[in-house]
Amino acid sequence: MYNPRSMKATEFIDHQEILDTLAYADAHKDDLQLVDAILEKAKDCKGLSHREASVLLACENETRLQRMYDLAKEIKLRFYGNRIVLFAPLYLSNYCVNGCVYCPYHAKNKHIGRKKLTQEEVAREVIALQDMGHKRLAIEAGEDPKNNPIEYILECIKTIYSIHHKNGDIRRVNVNIAATTVEEYRMLKEAGIGTYILFQETYHKESYEQLHPTGPKHNYDYHTEAMDRAMEGGIDDVGLGVLFGLERYRYEFAGLLMHAEHLEAVHGVGPHTISVPRVKHADDIDPSAFDNGISDDTFAKICALIRIAVPYTGMIISTREGQTVRERVLPLGVSQISGGSRTSVGGYEEEERPTDTEQFDVSDQRTLDEVVRWLMELGYIPSFCTACYRESRTGDRFMSLCKSGQIQNCCHPNALMTLKEYLMDYAAPETKAIGEALIQAELQNIPKDKVREICADHLQKIEQGIRDFRF
């Protein structure tokens, strides 16, 4: 029985409810009066239910599809403006005991080289990332209680935060590691992490168990209930995601939104972020083996409808996607992207991109500077801001500000100041010239006179060598 307030995975992600939702969507996808009513409701930026959003996903009317895209763009601008937050993944270890059939880290893969970073190697990776200009990382590690225990993860976090190189600092460490206990989530919180991210991979329980035949990740309920344990452990910013291509995309879409509804119903705080990765080629993994792949058109539609259905959440797209696809979905709802990413263990300190320990093929292989310049040429403000996390604007505090639109008073000037830091410390001359012009233009878009004056003063002080201003 479907119950969004239940703490049982099979009740807040109820299989029959998803099937009923898909049947309802099929029955009503051509009911344009209903579709219009749902779109009209969505204009209030209060979100949509999984069933309402599934009707829109099933609808193929071209006029309504364009309205969906237009509305997604409006909502994106209302909540996130023209800012795009940048981050990079940092792979600590690819040792893993699970048997996930879509991931090259699976225990039976004898082709891939296994590697675990020492703290000295972690430090060198962090310096390489700081030298690019990164301020925000997402650490990744395979699930292996022997090689990657929580004590190792905590030590790595401590090392990352301790490295101060030239003007470089990593100001926020997000964590993407396997589902764990309340006590270990509490330890991560005490270590000062930002968002805890865990991809569901698929919400279809039968498929999930087949895709994870061995290892602790085989336990669907334990994995799906991880966010509740994380919040019980004090982590109030969590990030959801599915790996599109493993199961039917409409099933996954409904399940993803049901999970968001569950978090809102139980904890009063929905997901801080939603990620939208697609299955990609990797060592020992052929994506054509999975017959649920989605086209770029469908992918764009999913991104737009996530923005409409969950307007307050950040949406992440990684370098799994190439420049063309990323450019297409940026205005439809994406608010965070990775740049200059390497998905191999120890890959950043290598001059040439290593591929022997990559988790997946990187489609967008541009440098961070090239990504920053590209974003600005498209009219976006590349942001390295981490202020909300460090000012304790997390969880329900962040959500209340975001839903009311008040967060814009902090985010816009913070984005300009962190971009200024990047331009002064790391940018190529052409990037710096474009960025300086962008900052001067965007400074005038800060609505409050006092905030604009303070921001302008801080920008001058950044030129004088002072760093880390924030609202």
pTM of the model: 0.94
Are 55 and 28 a contacting pair, CB within 8 Å? yes
Q: What is the pLDDT of residues 205-251, one digit of tens each?
A: 999 999 999 999 999 999 999 999 999 999 999 999 999 999 999 99
Q: Give pLDDT, residue 177.
A: 97
Residue among 65, 64, 46 at smallest CA distance from 309: 46
The domains of the chain are located at 77-365, 403-463
Q: Average pLDDT of 356-371?
A: 76
Q: Does the pLDDT value for residue 344 go beyond 60?
A: yes
Residue among 67, 75, 52 at smallest CA distance from 254: 52
Q: Does the pLDDT value for residue 404 go beyond 80?
A: no
Q: Give pLDDT, residue 299.
A: 96
Q: Give pLDDT, residue 372.
A: 98
Contacts 24+ apart (CB under 8 A), 172-176: 172/135, 172/136, 172/137, 172/386, 172/389, 172/390, 173/136, 173/137, 173/138, 173/139, 174/87, 174/136, 174/137, 174/138, 174/139, 174/239, 175/138, 175/139, 176/89, 176/138, 176/139, 176/140, 176/239
> Higher-confidence residue: 283 or 245?
245
Task: Produce one character per residue of 141-151: b if its CB has 16 or more CB atoms within 10 Å, e if not.
Answer: bbbbeebbebe
Amino acid at 87: F
β-pair type (168-169, 164-165): antiparallel
Q: What is the pLDDT of residues 139-181, one digit of tens each?
A: 999 999 999 999 999 999 999 999 999 999 999 999 999 999 9
Q: Give pLDDT, residue 113.
A: 85
Q: Average pLDDT of 75-96?
A: 95
Of the chain, the end-to-end C-alpha distance in Å amounts to 46
Q: Does the pLDDT value for residue 282 go beyond 60?
A: no
Amino acid at 396: D
What is the sign, positive or negative, of the torsion defined by CA atoms of 339, 391, 123, 97?
negative
Q: Does the pLDDT value for residue 355 go beyond 90?
A: no
Rounded distance between C-alpha atoms, residue 274 and residue 318, angstroms? 12
Residue 113 DSSP class:
P
| E strand map for 115-223 | 136-141, 164-165, 168-169, 172-176, 196-197
Provide the angle, in degrees to the nearest 10, between the axes of the packed helices 429-443 and 449-463. Answer: 160
Rounded distance between C-alpha atoms, residue 232 and residue 170, angstroms? 26
Q: How sure is the predictor about 410, in pLDDT bands with cuts at 50, 70 and 90? A: confident
DSSP state string for 402-461: HHHTTTHHHHHHHHHHHHHHHHHHT--HHHHHHHHHHHHHHHTT---HHHHHHHHHHHHH
Three-state DSSP at 136 gives strand
Q: Average pLDDT of 409-423?
A: 94
Provide the angle, in degrees to the nearest 10, between the axes of the packed helices 249-267 and 296-309. Answer: 20
Would you state the CATH architecture of domain 77-365?
A: Alpha-Beta Barrel (3.20)
> Higher-confidence residue: 358 or 343?
343
Q: What is the pLDDT of residues 192-212, one digit of tens each?
A: 999 999 999 999 999 999 999
Side-chain-side CA neighbours of residue 260 (13 Å): 31
Q: Average pLDDT of 343-370?
A: 77
Are 116 and 93 a contacting pair, CB within 8 Å? yes
Question: What distances in angstroms separate CA 442 from CA 73, 138, 389, 412, one per listed residue?
Answer: 19, 28, 24, 9
Q: Give pLDDT, residue 289.
A: 65
Q: Give pLDDT, residue 290.
A: 61
Rounded distance between C-alpha atoms, residue 249 and residue 235, angstroms? 29
β-pair type (381-383, 196-197): unpaired
Q: Give pLDDT, residue 288.
A: 63
Q: Give pLDDT, residue 362.
A: 67
Q: Does the pLDDT value for residue 78 go beyond 80?
A: yes
Q: Give pLDDT, residue 229.
A: 98
Q: What is the pLDDT of residues 434-464, one digit of tens each?
A: 999 999 999 999 988 999 999 999 999 999 9
Q: Give pLDDT, residue 351.
A: 75
Amino acid at 168: G
The continuous run of DSSP H or E covering 179 comes out as none
Q: Give pLDDT, residue 281.
A: 55
283 - beta bridge partners? none
Q: Give pLDDT, residue 409.
A: 73
Which range (36-40, 373-377, 401-405) has the least confidence?
Answer: 401-405
Mean pLDDT, the chain, whole residue set: 93
- What values do phi and psi take at 300, rounded to 5? -65, -40
Are 162 and 205 a contacting pair, CB within 8 Å? no
